[in-house]
Structure 1
Amino acid sequence: MGSSQSAPNREEAALLVQRLHAMRMQDRDIERDYVSIDTEKGMLTSHANSPSLSISSAETWEKQLLADPKNRLALSALMQNDVRNIISQKVATLPDTQTYNVKIPFEGSPVTNQRSSGRCWLFATTNVLRVPIMKKYNLKEFELSQSYLFFWDKLEKSNWFLEQIIDTSDMDLDSRIVQELLGSPVSDGGQWDMAANLVHKYGLVPQTLYPDSYNAMNSGAMGSIITSKLREDALKLRSIKQQATSGTSSKLAAMKARMLQEVHCILTLMLGPPPKPEDKFSWDHYDSNGKFHQLQKTPLDFAADISSSNSFRTLGAKVSDMFSLVNDPRNPYMKLLTVDRLGNVVGGRPVTYVNVDMSTMKAAAISMLKAGIPVFFGSDVGKYSNSTTGTMDTRLYDYKLAFNVSLDMSKSQRLRTRESASMFPSQTCPSSASLLLPDVLLQRTEPDMSSTVTHAMTLTAVHLDPSTGKPIRWRVQNSWGTSAGTEGYMVMTDAWMDEFVYQVVVDPGYVGKEIKEILGTKAKRLDLWDPMGALA
């Protein structure tokens, strides 16, 4: 319930912004009371007269704040407008143009739209994988079915969750691991390795054969129903497992099968019956010359076309061979990382990352773009981004101008404090709704823009400095529809990439031998609640 607010007077807001920028806060030294924790005694230690918050102090701060005319102007501007509109900087948007000297010749179209769902990782995956199919069949426009993978991912995640619940039945229900599992049994989010598992087991189908249903585009209700059911099932499985009788194993298997059948029922009725991986489908289509074609293949055979397409994989690598490079400055570089109990397909490939510095990650991405290959990547898109202008730039917002505060944490510090993460957690991927898309264009509700809001997208171009060869800006293919950015594309500065990009997926042919060898080493196991365990 609620009523929509009237649009702010843009001319008035612009005038306020001009006046705000014309004034400057004078430096002043203000002593501030604070408290800290005595870690040895576990007691509060006061560094002021009293450890409690003083009402009189708040009154004094307010008087000091509003004594400055610049702050009174800021009050008028910020109370009536989105703060990001007020503090956005034109210095960031003017040079961020859609011109590049390295661009893949075939980006794929149309621009996709995940709507009100957290399927960004599946959209980024299918946006990458459709390119070789479009080349092979000479298609002008084409989409792979994201809902097809979405259906099977939900069912696989349900099975994964129930298996983890059985395996942790000896742990206390209030333990951190069990509570983390219960927190998000079947989130919309996922990782590249999870997508590879789905493609390997279920294949791919054209979007026209299994299009989005309402609940694929608006996944919240379906996810809530399945989550409630699985949490209820978890308590039943834990109870049976803890009884530990002679027939416990067979009883657990039978119970789990019934539970999965119930989840399958929910998915089928809300998404529609999906194609079967080994049943042939018939796909009628026109090529770019207007010639009619009919193709009959199984989803598994259709997916196999990707690995055999010379136009996509010059070295003949398979989709399953592609892997993730991440930049996690908390951990040693040139090491393999994995996340405990994170996955979707039981018995499938685990989620792993090779941790590298940003220069190594960028070099691999540039090599792939030069070879004409789009690049899946994961980033903390909620930071310094504006979907209306299609800008991702660390200079985009001037918080110091408005509040006289700076946000200066390093990449490592943001990870350690959960201010940033490489993949999206249990809710949904952010949509353009959260990044300043006008209300009339919104297709979904605004998500929680918390510290770990992140997003998977696709790189299709980069602009390199002609004299140094270093990247200046990157072209980003998004999945928020054509109304976001420049007809669905965004511009990411290289400085933004340094700070907020954590992952790129690479073909093994475009990295050095020393990196490929790391895949065969023992991985450092991160906790399930680690920021690197959040999902795109």
Structure 2
Amino acid sequence: MSKSISADELGRFRDNLQGRKDAAVIARSVAKNGILASATDYEAATKMEPVFSIDLDTGKVADQKRSGRCWMFACLNTMRHAIREEYKVADDFELSQNYTFFWDKLEKANYFYENVLKTADLPTSDRKVAWLMTTPQQDGGQWDMIMAIIEKYGVVPQSVMPETVNSSNSTEINDMLNLKLRKDAVELREMVAANATDDDIATRKEKMLTEVYRMLAYSFGEPPTTFDFEYRDKDNNFHRDTNLTPKKFFDKYVGWNLSDYVSIINGPTKDKPYNHMYTVEMLGNVVGGREVRHLNVDMNEFRKVAIKQLEAGESVWFGCDVGKESDRKKGIMDTNLYHQDELFDVDFSMSKADRLDYCQSLMTHAMVLTGVDLVDGEPTKWKVENSWGDKVGTKGFFVMSNDWMEEYCYQVVVNKKYLPDELKQVLNEEPTMLKPWDPMGSLA
């Protein structure tokens, strides 16, 4: 039986508050300065100096501006680090995030239409249908999703397809795309209900995608099919490479075997035993392209493989819950940064598994590990390249404590050669399918 808050209980609440000697002092501080400022441990920040025993030189940080492309920026940043090292391009050289953004939006539209058709016999009240319609498409994504785009479309330098107002501030195009996709979903579901032929549905869907392509071309510009790449290296030597396609550019200037890079997660919930593979239903972008696959491991292994890749001189894409226990301005992520529990005299502690299961945390942002400070072989703090420009942190770089990584990091991407042999074998197993709303399916 439900029970409302009684007058007697309210009286006890007031008595409890008034019985605290420090209540008035704390209330004044919180009301005047805010919760985080009142709970800040200023000494903790002094322990997070940006000095690391392994510190990769990766050049100038990028800026995703008012868009949700962190996962894309982080991936392209790891690739430009390699180009910078090999070809001595300028520190501010970038691969075009606008180019991959265009193709991701188009492919997500097609992926959405296909899922609408697959679920067309379900009522709109069904959880899967509701999940689809809540956000038909968005800026966020996963490592395997940007791999699917690059495998199909390649990459280009930013100079070939630069940013536009809409790629740097994606709110308006997202609003218009989601309006269109929901409207198209109504029509596709009605066509299925009316027993329209597969050919008729395919013809109508192609017209819908033609309209999406036009919207994207107006907003982002049309992607190049061929281009010339010109640059001066750090020794001031001029280079010109002509008549490149985006895939030829990738093969020549990046040259990675993308299948070598695998997603390693730490999801310590009971439904995801360690050392097994997982995928997520209805998570992806390119129909028929690369599937999202995660290898779940404990944090000890999680850190080991990241350190191995850094020791080899290669940066590491990672995903985390960036808003928790972090100071964006100072560029510090540390579990000792704030003491809200002491401020309110309330126990806020939750296990990592409970935070995932009860919607208190999930992956919200992707960045790049570019360094680590090892003491007696153990990590104490990590250097992080963000994509929020150079006005935050130390010229755009953040410092992350090892304890913070333990609690709020969920994913790293490493070359599979750094995995122990027993985990390499696990990569070949058929992944367990997770529900669309599983926290490991969140988009950075």
Q: Which residue does 2:65 correspond to in 1?
A: 115
CA distance in 2 between partners of 1:267 and 1:78 (Å): 46
Matches within 5 A, 1:244-263: 244-245=195-196, 248-263=197-212
> Is the counterpart of residue 129 in structure 1 residue 79 in structure 2?
yes
After superposition, the C-alpha distances for 1:412-462 in whole angstroms (9 at most, x for unaligned) are 00111011113xxxxxxxxxxxxxxxxxxxxxxxxxxxxxxx110000111
The residue type paired with residue 324 of structure 1 is S
> Is the counterpart of residue 489 in structure 1 residue 397 in structure 2?
yes
Which one has the largest radius of gyration?
Answer: 1
CA contact (8 A) 1:387 1:484 kept: yes
CA contact (8 A) 1:168 1:178 kept: yes
CA distance in 1 between partners of 2:214 and 2:135 (Å): 20
> Is the counterpart of residue 90 in structure 1 residue 42 in structure 2?
yes
CA distance in 2 between partners of 1:257 and 1:55 (Å): 63
Q: Which residue does 1:274 correspond to in 2?
A: 223
After superposition, the C-alpha distances for 1:53-92 in whole angstroms (9 at most, x for unaligned) are 1245335423431443421112112122232111111232
Q: How many residues align?
A: 440
Query: Structure 2 regions of 5+ residues with no counterpart?
Result: none
After superposition, the C-alpha distances for 1:252-302 in whole angstroms (9 at most, x for unaligned) are 1011111111111111111122213xxx21122211112222222211011
CA distance in 2 between partners of 1:71 and 1:139 (Å): 58
Q: Which residue does 1:430 correspond to in 2?
A: none
CA distance in 1 between partners of 2:252 and 2:313 (Å): 18
CA contact (8 A) 1:103 1:370 kept: no
Query: Structure 1 regions of 5+ residues with no counterpart?
Result: 1-43, 46-50, 309-316, 423-453
CA contact (8 A) 1:129 1:306 kept: no
Q: Secondary structure at the match of 1:360?
A: helix
> Is the counterpart of residue 102 in structure 1 residue 54 in structure 2?
yes
> Is the counterpart of residue 81 in structure 1 residue 33 in structure 2?
yes
Match of 2:97 among 146, 149, 154: 146
CA contact (8 A) 2:325 2:338 kept: yes
CA distance in 2 between partners of 1:495 and 1:197 (Å): 33
Q: Secondary structure at the match of 1:190?
A: coil
Q: Which residue does 2:410 correspond to in 1?
A: 502
The residue type paired with residue 264 of structure 1 is Y
CA distance in 2 between partners of 1:268 and 1:117 (Å): 17
Shift of 1:509: 1.3
CA distance in 2 between partners of 1:116 and 1:69 (Å): 45
Q: Which residue does 1:404 correspond to in 2?
A: 345
CA contact (8 A) 2:35 2:340 kept: no
CA distance in 2 between partners of 1:242 and 1:293 (Å): 58
Q: Secondary structure at the match of 2:250?
A: helix
CA contact (8 A) 2:36 2:340 kept: no
CA contact (8 A) 1:133 1:305 kept: no
The residue type paired with residue 380 of structure 1 is D
Q: Which residue does 1:189 correspond to in 2?
A: 140
Q: Return structure 1 stretches of 4+ with deviation > 4 angstroms.
A: none
CA contact (8 A) 1:473 1:494 kept: yes
CA contact (8 A) 2:29 2:38 kept: yes
After superposition, the C-alpha distances for 1:140-189 in whole angstroms (9 at most, x for unaligned) are 32111111100110000000000000011111111000110111111100
> Is the counterpart of residue 291 in structure 1 residue 233 in structure 2?
no
Match of 1:457 among 363, 367, 379: 367
Q: Which residue does 2:113 correspond to in 1?
A: 162
Shift of 1:320: 3.1
Shift of 1:226: 0.3
Shift of 1:465: 1.0
CA contact (8 A) 2:280 2:441 kept: yes
Match of 1:321 among 251, 260, 264: 260
The residue type paired with residue 408 of structure 2 is F
Q: Which residue does 1:336 correspond to in 2?
A: 277
CA contact (8 A) 2:383 2:398 kept: yes
> Is the counterpart of residue 356 in structure 1 residue 266 in structure 2?
no
Shift of 1:339: 0.1
CA distance in 2 between partners of 1:66 and 1:208 (Å): 64
CA distance in 2 between partners of 1:305 and 1:357 (Å): 36
CA contact (8 A) 1:101 1:464 kept: yes
The residue type paired with residue 232 of structure 2 is Y
Q: Which residue does 1:381 correspond to in 2?
A: 322
Q: Secondary structure at the match of 1:324?
A: strand
The residue type paired with residue 336 of structure 1 is M
CA contact (8 A) 2:95 2:155 kept: yes
The residue type paired with residue 432 of structure 2 is K
> Is the counterpart of residue 512 in structure 1 residue 428 in structure 2?
no
Match of 1:301 among 248, 262, 269: 248
Q: Which residue does 2:6 correspond to in 1?
A: 54
Q: Which residue does 1:202 correspond to in 2?
A: 153
The residue type paired with residue 194 of structure 1 is M
CA contact (8 A) 2:283 2:436 kept: yes
CA contact (8 A) 1:114 1:217 kept: yes
The residue type paired with residue 486 of structure 1 is T
Q: Secondary structure at the match of 1:111?
A: coil
> Is the counterpart of residue 217 in structure 1 residue 156 in structure 2?
no
Q: Secondary structure at the match of 1:372?
A: coil
TM-score for the superposition, normalised by structure 2:
0.96
Q: Which residue does 2:388 correspond to in 1?
A: 480
CA distance in 2 between partners of 1:274 and 1:58 (Å): 63
The residue type paired with residue 229 of structure 1 is K
> Is the counterpart of residue 243 in structure 1 residue 194 in structure 2?
yes
CA distance in 1 between partners of 2:34 and 2:65 (Å): 23
Q: Which residue does 1:417 correspond to in 2?
A: 358
CA contact (8 A) 2:166 2:220 kept: yes
Q: Which residue does 1:442 correspond to in 2?
A: none
CA contact (8 A) 2:79 2:254 kept: no
Q: 1:460 to 1:335 in 2, by over 3 A?
A: same
CA distance in 2 between partners of 1:507 and 1:351 (Å): 16
Q: Secondary structure at the match of 1:121?
A: helix
The residue type paired with residue 518 of structure 1 is V
